[in-house]
């Protein structure tokens, strides 16, 4: 879940081609499934549960506007984790984005329902989605967009070969969000080390 108690700054990360993709298996009782017709509300519920959207209605509108026009791609690029009862508890997309008019593989919308966080599902779905990107797009540079509010996920992304990156073409907003984000993350890591929580 997003930690909105700390200052916000958005930034980008890149995994260079050739970086290994670590394998994190799912815990017993869970399985991966692909997006199917009718899963729109499940996606909206998960994304709203982690505070990416203020309401499921807003999440649903975003999905319909940005992704439903590519419904065939959504069915093979959006994945969920289901529990033993068939409830969808995590999601991610192996999507694409444009940089200077060129298409690049893009990891998007990684989210785990708060009640299921801390079980290794985030690592597992990032591993599966990154592997899916490689299957669909080839071994290329992969990108993702994240934020300081997602600092716990940032460490998982690092374990999968993603590193914060400054490329002028990515940072369209005024001001140096990259430097701001790095300062905030450095303070968080220092505080967590001081509290005995590692990086």
> Rounded to whole angstroms, how far apart are CA atoms 63 and 53?
11
With bands split at pLDDT 50, 70 and 90, how would you rate the model's confidence at 112?
Answer: very high
> Rounded to whole angstroms, how far apart are CA atoms 14 and 21?
13
DSSP letters, 106-159, are EEEEEEE-GGGTTSSHHHHHHHHHHHHHHHHH-S--EEEEEEGGGHHHHHHHHH
pLDDT tens digits, 54-109: 999 999 999 999 999 999 999 999 999 999 999 999 999 999 988 888 899 999 99
What mean pLDDT do residues 134-163 have?
94
Confidence (pLDDT) at 191:
85
CB-based contact 66:51 (threshold 8 Å): no
Phi, psi dihedral angles at 182 (to 5 degrees): -65, -35
Three-state SS across 8-19?
CCEEEEEECCCC
Q: pLDDT exceeding 70 applies to what percent of the chain? A: 95
Q: 129-158: string of b/e by CB count within 10 Å (b at 16+)?
A: bbebbbeebeeeebbbebbbbbbebbebbe
Q: Which of 188, 190, 124 is nearest to 156 (CA)?
A: 124
What mean pLDDT do residues 34-47 have?
97
Confidence (pLDDT) at 168:
76
Q: pLDDT exceeding 90 applies to what percent of the chain? A: 82
| Residue with more model confidence, 193 or 76 | 76
What mean pLDDT do residues 151-162 have?
93
196, 163, 166, 73: CA torsion to nearest 10:
-130
Q: Is the dihedral of CA 172, 155, 135, 166 positive or negative?
A: positive
Residue whose token pair is 């068939």: 86
Q: Is the dihedral of CA 27, 110, 99, 68 positive or negative?
A: positive
Confidence (pLDDT) at 70:
94
Q: Report all structural domains of the chain as residue ranges with CATH numbers, in order of start.
A: 10-194 (3.40.630.30)
pLDDT tens digits, 164-177: 998 877 876 545 68
With bands split at pLDDT 50, 70 and 90, how would you rate the model's confidence at 199?
Answer: very low
pLDDT tens digits, 1-29: 789 999 999 999 999 999 999 999 999 99
Confidence (pLDDT) at 48:
98
What's the predicted TM-score (pTM) here? Answer: 0.90
């Amino acid at each position: 879940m997003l930690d909105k108690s700390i200052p916000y700054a958005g930034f980008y990360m890149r995994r260079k081609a050739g970086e290994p993709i670590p394998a994190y298996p799912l815990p017993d009782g869970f399985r991966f499934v692909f997006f199917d017709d009718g899963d729109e509300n499940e996606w909206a519920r998960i994304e709203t549960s982690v505070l990416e959207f203020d309401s499921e209605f807003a999440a649903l509108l975003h999905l319909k506007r940005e992704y439903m026009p590519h419904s065939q791609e959504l069915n093979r690029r959006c994945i969920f984790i289901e529990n033993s009862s068939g409830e969808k508890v995590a999601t991610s997309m192996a999507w694409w984005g444009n940089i200077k008019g060129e298409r690049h593989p893009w990891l998007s919308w990684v989210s785990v329902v708060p009640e299921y966080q801390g079980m290794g599902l985030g690592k597992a779905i990032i591993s599966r989605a990154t592997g899916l990107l490689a299957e669909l797009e080839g071994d290329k540079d992969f990108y993702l967009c994240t934020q300081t509010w997602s600092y716990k996920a940032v460490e998982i992304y690092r374990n999968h070969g993603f590193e914060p990156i400054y490329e002028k073409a990515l940072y369209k907003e005024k001001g140096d969000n990259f430097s701001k984000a790095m300062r905030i993350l450095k303070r968080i890591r220092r505080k967590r080390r001081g509290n005995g929580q590692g990086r």
